[in-house]
C-alpha cells in the first residue's frame, strides 16, 4: 500500500487537489487507519491555526491612527508654507540687493507714469498711488527686517513640528 505523503494530506485538507487525486486519497484514507490518524492530527492543527491571535490592539487604535495622520498632514501644510516663504524671501533679498547696486529710479518712474495713466483713467480717487513706488523702495529695509522676523518665527515653528513628529515620540 502506498501512503500519501504529508503534502498530499495537507492538500487534501486544503481542498486544492485535482478531483482524481482527491478520490484516490479519500479511498486510501478509507482503508488506512494510520493515514487517517495523521489527517486527524493535521485537522486539529488547522483548527488551532485558525484561532485568533490572543493579543489585540487597544480599543482606541483607529482613532489614534487618524489623529497621527491628521497631525502629519498639518505638518505638511506647515512645510508647504515654509517653502513658499523661503522662495519669496530669496526673491525679495535678490531684489533688495539689486536695488542697492543699480539705479532703478528712472525705470520705476517710467513705470509709475504708466500706472498713473492707467489708474487715473479708471478712478480718480486712486491719487494716493502717486509716488507709492518710491516710498516702497525707501521702506525696503523695514520690510526685509519684518520678513526676517517672520522667518525666524517660522523656523522655530518647523523645529517644534519636527520634534513633535519624530517617530519615537509620535508613536507613543
Q: Which residues bind another protein (CB under 8 A)?
A: 6-7, 10, 37-38, 40-42, 44-58, 61-66, 68-70, 72, 167, 171-172
CA angle 2, 4, 8 (to 5 degrees): 160
Selection from another protein, Zn ion, none that 79 binds (CB < 5 to 8 A by kind) is none
Helix (H, G, I), strand (E, B) or coil at 115: helix
Question: 27 vs 67, which CB is nearer to Zn ion?
Answer: 27
Give the interface segment with Zn ion, choosing from 34-42, 118-126, 134-142, 150-158 (CB under 5 A): 34-42
Residue whose C-alpha cell reads 523702495 in the numeric block:
137
DSSP code per residue over 72-87: HHHHHHHHHHHHHHHH
35 touches Zn ion by CB under 5 A: yes
Residue 56: CA atoms inside 13 Å, Cβ hemisphere, count?
Answer: 6
φ/ψ (deg, to 5) at 137: -65, -40
Residue whose C-alpha cell reads 513633535 in the numeric block:
164
User: Nearest approach, Cβ of 161 to another protein (angstroms)?
Assistant: 15
Maximum distance among all Cα pairs of the chain, rounded to whole angstroms: 110
Q: Which of 32, 92, 108, 158 binds Zn ion (CB under 5 A)?
A: 32
Helices (H) and strands (E) in the chain, counts: 8, 0
User: Nearest approach, Cβ of 11 to another protein (angstroms)?
Assistant: 8
User: Nearest approach, Cβ of 32 to Zn ion (angstroms)?
Assistant: 3
User: Nearest approach, Cβ of 83 to another protein (angstroms)?
Assistant: 18
Give the interface segment with Zn ion, choosing from 3-11, 53-61, 99-107, 122-130 (CB under 5 A): 3-11
Question: 24 vs 137, which CB is nearer to Zn ion?
Answer: 24
The answer to whether 13 and 42 are in contact (CB under 8 A) is: yes
67 touches Zn ion by CB under 5 A: no
Amino acid at each position: 500500500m502506498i501512503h500519501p505523503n504529508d503534502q498530499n494530506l495537507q492538500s487534501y485538507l486544503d481542498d486544492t487537489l485535482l478531483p482524481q487525486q482527491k478520490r484516490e486519497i479519500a479511498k486510501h484514507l478509507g482503508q488506512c487507519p494510520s493515514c487517517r490518524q495523521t489527517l486527524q492530527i493535521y485537522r486539529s492543527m488547522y483548527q488551532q491555526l485558525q484561532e485568533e491571535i490572543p493579543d489585540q490592539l487597544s480599543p482606541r487604535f483607529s482613532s489614534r491612527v487618524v489623529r497621527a495622520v491628521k497631525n502629519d498632514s498639518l505638518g505638511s501644510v506647515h512645510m508647504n508654507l515654509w517653502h513658499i516663504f523661503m522662495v519669496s524671501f530669496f526673491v525679495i533679498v535678490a531684489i533688495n540687493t539689486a536695488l542697492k547696486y543699480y539705479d532703478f529710479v528712472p525705470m520705476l518712474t517710467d513705470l509709475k507714469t504708466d500706472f498713473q495713466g492707467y489708474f487715473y483713467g479708471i478712478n480718480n480717487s486712486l491719487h494716493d498711488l502717486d509716488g507709492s513706488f518710491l516710498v516702497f523702495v525707501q521702506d525696503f529695509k523695514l520690510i526685509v527686517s519684518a520678513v526676517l522676523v517672520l522667518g525666524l518665527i517660522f523656523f522655530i515653528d518647523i523645529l517644534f513640528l519636527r520634534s513633535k513628529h519624530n517617530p519615537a515620540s509620535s508613536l507613543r
